[in-house]
Structure 1
Amino acid sequence: MSASSQRSGLRLVVVQVLAFSLFATLFVRLYYLQVIGGESYQAQAANQSVRDIVVQPQRGLIVDSQGRPLVANRTSWVVSVDRTLLGKLEEDQRTELVRRVAVAVESTPDEVEARLVTCGDPGSVRGECWNGSPYQPVPVASDVSKDVALRVLEQPEDYPGVLAEQQNVRSYPRPFGVNLAHVLGYLSPVTEDEYDLAAERDDRSLNGASVVGRAGVEKQYDEWLRGLPGYRRVAVDSMGRVLGDDSVVESTPGDTLVTSIDAQVQAVVEKQLAERIKVQRATMDPVTDRLYEADSGAAVVLDAKTGRVIAMASQPTYDPDVWTGGISEAQLAHLYSEKAGTPLLSRATQGQFAPGSTWKPFMTAGALTNGYSMDTTLPCSSSFQVGNNVFKNYESGAYGDIGFAKALEVSCNTFFYRIGYNFWQKFGSDPADVGARDPLVETAKKFGFGSRTGIDLPGEAPGRIADRHWKQAYFESQKDYFCDLSSKPQTKGTSDFVYKYAYEFCLEGNLYRAGDAVNFSIGQGDTIVTPLQLARAYAAIGNGGTLWAPTVAKAIVSPEGTVLRRMAPRKVAQLDVPKKYLDYIDSALQNVTRVGTMAWKMGGFPLDQVTVRSKTGSAEVYGKQTTGWVASYTEDYVVVMMISQAGTGSGSTGDGIRAIWEALYGIDGEAVRPDRAATPGTVPAVRLPQFLDDGSIMPPIVGDKTGE
């Protein structure tokens, strides 16, 4: 064999060895992949072909004390786009599909594109971007018509990767036409921070596509109402297109919230408040010679014995349905607009106003428990001078020497001026003594003023007791501003009063003078309260001195009808005002209704059968028209109504107050007709509504007073 043949044979052997080595390596690798690591790789492959899609739960109902739905759910057609498939299209095809979808849902391509961007990614717009799973179709339009949905479903070749399906959204049945927006609240999408926090806490009730309560009971009881989401595992192909369901974990509906609200009473309260505002806006103000502005108002009805909220209205208000499916920037701007009256603000719990003469019963309690007696008489003169200032009685009326009962009946300012001045002289005639005692301030705080009531609604305002401590703190926070203003030349268009006030404030704005004390005694000056605070305090007078934390919720009930939790009335304090003084004040307030400042609005009302106590108030605020109040109560209820810049208390709200009492007790003329009462049995419901096996909700059993 030649040398050439030997070399060729050697090369063949080398090639064969190399080929065998390659096949051996390939065989070993295949053996490892298919046998040793087979299960692991099979699992990974399966995971790549299966995606989890969140199934949102149906949010829990909110019902009134009779079981009437205040907030429910309805189905809405939602158009969504599969971004996975969208990303695999050519640029011109993608642009055309987005345009076609925008036209179908009556939107713009830019708006559709904004909804398709994941929140946190470059170009994302807060409130419009997608905060959910990247594998889940992204909703680009809600509440579309059925025709649009069917067009998308029936023409898949024109809308590849576009889905149309029905989803649950909030609805508002509005029994008796109620609005109740400020009590119910609203929802909006979960934020990234909220989602991250839920993930840290292993809270499975929230996901990237959840909606969360932002106000009212929707926020306060959000964790109960939201339910638990389910998960649908779907198989997808290599292009990310859904092939079919792999498995389903059903979602758990949210629980039902039973409230103490009575929808029929609420409807009456809302109607009366709106009507009184409308009437006053057409009424001439004799002081300013222009129509009353009547820019806002509130009304509250409480259960006098428990503090439960039966009705609560605020004006201006808004349609709670405006949040369903997402709110536009224009709509949101309107809700916060001062020109529109800031409709989002609840005047009942967040509005703060000078209480005027509705303050006087609490000043009476303070005086009687600090040295004055029920036999005390003081002059009710037409005016009362403090230093160089003359404080006048309302319309400069005078009644001679009178007692506390008569002073409340005719709402005599100068009577209470004298009490405030006497306490100032006795305990704190040094204006700079921040720690000086003030019995009237002490009593006001005992009745809960100056602090939140603790109602189960978020965002409650605390009101303000303008005592020595507050005045000193306010002076320290504003001194630099007013001192700077007073040192500059007066600008054109700025009143002399502003500069005079700035100069005096800079010098001695921290001093608590006698004028502050006398103003405090009649609910004027810088002291402000919320309508809810005032209603809660009047309930304490009527029920013997118990201060309750007002509550809206009564119970949480599971979707199956099981009571999961009861919210019992919560007692905050028992006032240390002797019963004889509360009874004395109660009797005086009865006379306010019978022969006093409220009598002209209650003529023909059957007071011998339904004893209504009341106190009117007309609060003066610098630069504004008078704010009118009426606070009233019986053994069962407290009813308070106020309207800002609307005139005297009884003149602006008296007719509305009477109409509410007539509805509560079924009063027809001078007859009491319990069968016509807005609330069955004329008293607040104690038992919960009946939750039947078929899912229906029935009213509670009338007359049964057990089960609270």
Structure 2
Amino acid sequence: MNEQLSRRLAFMGVLIIALFAALATRAWYLQVLRTEELSDQALLNHVEIVVTQPTRGRILDRHGVVLADNVRTGVVTVDRSRYAPGQIDYVLEQLSQLLDIPAATLASRLDDEQTHPLAEKVVASGLDEYGLLRVAEQSLPGVEAKWAMSRTYPQNEIGAHVVGYVGAMSPGQQERLLKAGYLPAERVGKSGIEQIFENDLHGQPGRTELEVDSTGRVHRVISEVLAEPGSDVFVSIDADLQAATESYLRQGLIAARKTVSEDSGFFYPSIGGAAVVMDLRNGDVLAMASHPTFDPNWLVGGLTTAEYQSVFENPYAPGALNNRAIQGQYSPGSVFKLVTALAGLEARLISPRAAYYDIGYFKIPEKYGCTGRCTFYNADKAPLGIVDLSSAITRSSDAYFYKVAHDLYWIRGEEQWAIQDMAQLLGFGSQSGIQLPFEKKGRIGDEKVKQQLFESNPDAYNPYGESSQWLPGDNINTGIGQGFVSVTPVQLANAFGTFANGGTLFSPNIVERVVSRSGDRFGESVIEFNPRIQRIAEFPEGSGVVREGLHGVASKSRRGTAWRAFEGYDSSGYAIAGKTGTSQAEGRNPVLHRKKEDSAVFVAWAPQHDPRYVVAVVMEEAGFGGDAAAPVARRIFEALRAYEQRWPDPQVAFIPPQPECPQIPEALRGYEAFIGYVPEGCPWGIQVPRANTPEDVDGDGVPDVEERDE
């Protein structure tokens, strides 16, 4: 037994020694004989990182209508770094025959400056599977035929300035985005929601680390992180109302071009404009139109210089890429009288019912030692007769507000700047905070602003070497929205909405929420925008008379400046309150080489006594606000009235204003002119202006038949 065990142990020992000998021999072979060969092979193996582009999130309207999406499309790309001089011409000729696209067109697409320098150039897109196979079968060097996700805008130009567009990275974006894992050929947001919500829409790129050899064969996957799709962004606009607003604005501009200016004798150029529709109960933007506009689909694949110039540098339709609703800065004209009226009341300079005799102009009294321009005229120098604050607003008496602004100038102390303070309280002179890029803040004139403008550009603002001191004439011009005042259409809508809702100034929301599309959070809101209140403004006593004046602007019986635009309008339950404006544009039209025409402005809310929506319309060089802009606003209100029937009840984030119910002398109750002054919601028993009617001869508000029955 011991002898058998010994033999087994001896065998095991020999086996172990043999194995160690074989291992040592193999190690000697690899480390000595094949050292150089294995070192070269190890150098040839390397780690390759593959970045997977995520699917970009969509942009949808408040009801889920898709405004921006992605589609799979066949593309042909060319990497020009793969070619020797002269070789590219042969490749383009071959592609031209395959794609039926002129070689010159393909060559021009290689010069697309909007694409990152390191990226392959897309020379053809929209190919189907058969087209891709035809190109791939040729195996042309540096040419790749593949499927790619392309951005598409199903609604075309509708909401283009809100949605924005995607394009190649700018030099400023390249360094930051390439480090964040973007691919050089990726399209990124360039304007609108596409730009400001780029991080949310883009998603997280996938990243896979592979070990590959010199032949490109993958040996193993070192690590892998899957791409996460971008989130969807829901905007507050209604696609149907947006389409209607853009259409009405365009039609209004075309109609203005067929109208002859009484001042110049030429047709109005009516080169562009903007319209904004807001829900004044919560600050939601329901529509935002800017004209001229564009189709974002044009810009997805990039444009050649010639194509870009022909579309976006048209001198007769300038600034198509600019969102005039937030970037256009205009003199507001007479719509700014809302600010001046409230400022005069705040300074206790205005007695709302005091009579003022408008003789067609205001002349600075001699006691103030005026030199230079001392007389300021109404439009057409027309005298309006006796007016109070209400009728001065309704009939747009410049002379009345010239006097208010002049008298404010001579008040020493803080009240001297009452107009500027009230303008700032209503949101003028600062960005509104809407979720869109490139918003301008406008300008409210004062002594500091005047000095800065004179110093920065004296040729434009001070060609005659005038004093930079703030003068009475400066305050007078500011009082009617001229001079150094400039505002954006969204500021106008927000300011009037603030006054209509009783003083709640919102930061407008054009985005409702951002919804995740990845992993366990699919369909979950990751960002929600509730009403954002900037501040609560308290308006002075007598502001109800201002409201009353705005109510009369569309009234024929009260000779409002917009009555013609609203003649035949069904105001039952949906009457409007607003203000017209005709702003003088400074300078010369660079295309027509003549003095610029007046711009038309109109801002209004509806219904009068249950304010829900505010509309602001600005039309450049289109004439009078009541003739050009007010008809556009009317059509928008009619569309609003129809569309809101299908909308759910919105979130209300303000306390509706209570009506002012002043005591009215009994003798005035029988005057027919006062029938429109009856404040809705006034408690019974307070004497309010009420016209006698055949059914109510004594004018007490109770039908005489009911009184006899009692």
Same fold per superposition (TM over 0.5): yes
- 1:322 matches 2:298: yes
**Using the alignment, how far apart are the partners of 1:523 and 1:682 within structure 2?**
37
Structure 1 SS opposite 2:572: coil
**Using the alignment, how far apart are the partners of 1:225 and 1:662 within structure 2?**
35
TM-score by length of 1: 0.77
Deviation at 1:193, TM superposition (A): 4.8
Partner of 2:705: none
Task: Please say if residues 57 and 252 of structure 1, whose CA atoms lie closer than 8 Å, have aligned partners that are also in contact.
Answer: yes
Partner of 1:340: 317
Task: Please say if residues 636 and 683 of structure 1, whose CA atoms lie closer than 8 Å, have aligned partners that are also in contact.
Answer: no
Among candidates 526, 546, 549, match of residue 564 of structure 1: 526
Deviation at 1:108, TM superposition (A): 4.0
Deviation at 1:142, TM superposition (A): 4.0
Partner of 1:644: 620
**Using the alignment, how far apart are the partners of 2:318 and 2:620 within structure 1?**
12
Task: Please say if residues 450 and 484 of structure 2, whose CA atoms lie closer than 8 Å, have aligned partners that are also in contact.
Answer: no
Structure 2 SS opposite 1:297: strand
**Using the alignment, how far apart are the partners of 2:87 and 2:385 within structure 1?**
90
Among candidates 525, 536, 547, match of residue 505 of structure 2: 547
Task: Please say if residues 44 and 213 of structure 2, whose CA atoms lie closer than 8 Å, have aligned partners that are also in contact.
Answer: no
Deviation at 1:61, TM superposition (A): 0.5
Deviation at 1:60, TM superposition (A): 0.5
C-alpha spacing 1:663/1:244, structure 2 compared with 1 (3 Å): farther
Partner of 2:135: 152
Structure 2 SS opposite 1:526: coil
Partner of 1:511: 469
TM-score by length of 2: 0.77
Task: Please say if residues 271 and 316 of structure 2, whose CA atoms lie closer than 8 Å, have aligned partners that are also in contact.
Answer: no
Structure 1 SS opposite 2:539: coil
Deviations 1:525-570 (A, max 9, x none): 2311111111110010011111111121110001221111101221
Percent of aligned positions with the same letter in both sequences? 30
Task: Please say if residues 142 and 325 of structure 1, whose CA atoms lie closer than 8 Å, have aligned partners that are also in contact.
Answer: no
Partner of 2:144: 163
C-alpha spacing 1:97/1:29, structure 2 compared with 1 (3 Å): farther
Partner of 1:590: 551
Partner of 2:329: 352
Task: Please say if residues 69 and 173 of structure 1, whose CA atoms lie closer than 8 Å, have aligned partners that are also in contact.
Answer: yes
Partner of 2:358: 380
Structure 2 SS opposite 1:455: coil
Structure 2 SS opposite 1:290: coil
Q: Structure 1: 5+ residue runs without aligned partners?
A: 1-23, 116-123, 133-137, 429-434, 483-497, 667-676, 688-708
**Using the alignment, how far apart are the partners of 2:623 and 2:35 within structure 1?**
90
Larger deviation, residues 295-304 vs 94-103: 94-103
**Using the alignment, how far apart are the partners of 1:160 and 1:511 within structure 2?**
71
1:101 aligned partner, one-letter code: L
- 1:476 matches 2:448: no
Deviation at 1:683, TM superposition (A): 5.8
Task: Please say if residues 282 and 292 of structure 1, whose CA atoms lie closer than 8 Å, have aligned partners that are also in contact.
Answer: yes
- 1:182 matches 2:185: no
Among candidates 118, 142, 147, match of residue 131 of structure 1: 118
Task: Please say if residues 449 and 464 of structure 1, whose CA atoms lie closer than 8 Å, have aligned partners that are also in contact.
Answer: yes
2:90 aligned partner, one-letter code: E
Structure 2 SS opposite 1:421: helix
Deviations 1:66-105 (A, max 9, x none): 1111111112211134679x56xx8777653354235545
Deviation at 1:684, TM superposition (A): 5.2
Partner of 2:689: none
Using CA pairs under 8 Å that are at least 6 residues apart, name the structure with larger relative contact order, 1 or 2: 1
- 1:395 matches 2:380: yes
C-alpha spacing 1:113/1:142, structure 2 compared with 1 (3 Å): closer
Partner of 1:75: 72
1:363-374 aligned within 5 A: 363-371=340-348, 372-374=350-352
Among candidates 39, 52, 57, match of residue 54 of structure 2: 57
**Using the alignment, how far apart are the partners of 2:419 and 2:403 within structure 1?**
12
2:602 aligned partner, one-letter code: V
1:156 aligned partner, one-letter code: Q
Task: Please say if residues 262 and 679 of structure 1, whose CA atoms lie closer than 8 Å, have aligned partners that are also in contact.
Answer: no
2:418 aligned partner, one-letter code: P
C-alpha spacing 1:290/1:246, structure 2 compared with 1 (3 Å): same
1:1-80 aligned within 5 A: 28=28, 30-31=30-31, 45-47=44-46, 51-80=48-77
Root-mean-square deviation over aligned CA pairs: 3.5
Deviation at 1:182, TM superposition (A): 1.2
C-alpha spacing 1:436/1:630, structure 2 compared with 1 (3 Å): closer
**Using the alignment, how far apart are the partners of 1:33 and 1:535 within structure 2?**
85
Deviation at 1:236, TM superposition (A): 7.1
Deviation at 1:148, TM superposition (A): 3.8
C-alpha spacing 1:265/1:193, structure 2 compared with 1 (3 Å): closer
C-alpha spacing 1:678/1:151, structure 2 compared with 1 (3 Å): farther
**Using the alignment, how far apart are the partners of 2:80 and 2:214 within structure 1?**
14
Among candidates 634, 643, 646, match of residue 680 of structure 1: 646
2:235 aligned partner, one-letter code: T
Task: Please say if residues 500 and 605 of structure 2, whose CA atoms lie closer than 8 Å, have aligned partners that are also in contact.
Answer: yes
C-alpha spacing 1:320/1:678, structure 2 compared with 1 (3 Å): farther
Among candidates 538, 561, 577, match of residue 576 of structure 1: 538
